[in-house]
Structure 1
Amino acid sequence: MTTDTPARLLQLLSLLQTPREWPGGELAERLGVSRRTVRRDIDRLRELGYPVQASMGADGGYRLVAGKALPPLVLDDEEAVAIAVGLRAGAGHAVEGVDEASVRALAKLEQVLPSRLRHRVTTLQAATTPLTSGDGPSIAPETLTVMASTVAGHERLRFAYRAKDGTGSRRLTEPYRLVSTGRRWYLVAYDLDRDDWRTFRVDRVTSPFATGARFTPRELPTGDAAEYLRRSIRHHRETYDFTVTFAAPAEDVAARVPAWLGAPEPLGPDRCRLRATTGDPVEWLAVRLAMLGWDFTVHEPAELAACVRELGGRLSRAGGG
């Protein structure tokens, strides 16, 4: 019998978060209490914001349903390890769709994981190799979680940084946002030593350290981290403009292309145009466009159009066409 009320509530909540309906008698037996105590505990959970639904009948049942807000979850050891491993795998490669929110979730989870579970996650991660990964370089999930924590907490971040030419330096920053382009992670931050805004490729960052010093966030010149990154890339790299039309609604295309490329322009209910600037190789961009899943036409530059034609011919020959 579980006599400690908080412990019993957590045990009850863990049972209810299993997607099934629990008869009151079975819950009472599992918890070692009376059905009356189960009913009182259900009322306590409801007061805490958990939407518990009761069914009528000789042995009325209970189940947790969707509510207006996400209540705290109770995970067992195996569930916590599975979620942490999945988030770490996604964070380690700049997979499109695995953005700063996922990294923040990983940071929160790893902060409360018991040491025994943290060791299991690390061991499993080190012992496995993914068959496929993103196009960009791998990143230690710990680096992203430290950065995400300092962004959320408005805490100054110190780290070692390796520039494109291999030059190393130490940076003290006020981190603003993490931005994923689908291939790489970038940190947009105010560099205190250089007294200016900077973007940093996260795969070139080592030894990130949260200093504990709080700061009041500054106003970003562009007002949007993705837009600032886009302008920074255009300024520092050899770039080119491209124009592509898609046989798809603008909102569907916008959901699949990186935000820093800008928003597609609607040309009708099922057609849109994307004008953007990039420094990515035309070969990579051709493959990326083809993988979006819609018919498209390249208008410029000529090098991209030629690359798409060559890719199409190669794929057709590979398929026996």
Structure 2
Amino acid sequence: MLVSDAARLLRLLSLLQMPREWPGSELARRLEVTSRTVRRDVDRLRGLGYPVEATQGVLGGYRLVAGTAMPPLLLDDEEAVAIAVGLRTAARQPVAGIAEASARALAKLRQVLPARLARRVASLTAATSSSAAPGASLVDPGQLAVVAGAVEARSRVRFGYVAQENVVSRRHVEPVRLVALDRRWYLLAFDVERDDWRTFRLDRISAAMVTGVRFAPRQPPGGDAVGYLTRTMYATAPTYRAEATLRLPVELARARLGDFAGELTALDDGSCSWHSDDDTVEYLAFRLTALGCEFTVHGPAELVTHLRGLVERVGRSVAHPPGALARTPSTG
């Protein structure tokens, strides 16, 4: 189906959703096509499972059978599955109430799809599970909607912001792009008063208000919002390359490290050396401890120090057997 045909079918669905009957001649005039094309498009909609009724006579015409509060959706199999997968993925985003909202949206989606697609989406939903993103501060969905609207409208926005040092300020920015990165939402914007680019965490934004003042389109530095945000985040935190021996077969280490494999070299059947890509000591330590194997770190010193501190903290947390604190007699 051509793009113009699909767009016309969507327009036809929109008209038929109105609570009235449409004479074929009126639909043809609205869509700027012939009455024969209207009849063919109606047959296409019926073939996709949308119940379009036709009545004969002078007052006859076309109408969409009532039964849903939402207009039908013109989706093929791949598009329906893509939306379902997207909603399941959205449930893991650190936005307050997003898991429940995703479930409601999936339920509504199934109600307005033709039976064949509804069954496919229902099967996908039943076969998958999701959970809210762990360890991330929740974003207010209202604030997210306001900022997203300002990005779309290219309108300046004012909001309160709490910096990492707990310094509260009012900001006046030109919002350019929202970025979801490492279980957090960020806003890349041009700060009007500071005359420079700034990155803001959405969970630290409050009282966002669109001013209505439009601004000319801006390109993120380097032309890529995600790349710029990643570079600036790493620029504020020192990065290192880990050198370690892993008590793990090289292919198993490669599988567990995935995209973070860096350079792996087999030493024998049960161990390998790992030279990582640049990253922070916190993330390098996480990668090592998540491998589920013994390892020896040869450098850098900052990573060794961080791991020793981590071991001490974990050791203190399990210094007492379960229930020991509860059995300690009161001294009061």
Return the TM-score normalized by structure 1. 0.48
TM-score (norm: length of structure 2): 0.47
Q: Which has the higher contact order (CA 8 A, sep 6+)?
A: 1
Whose Rg is larger? 2
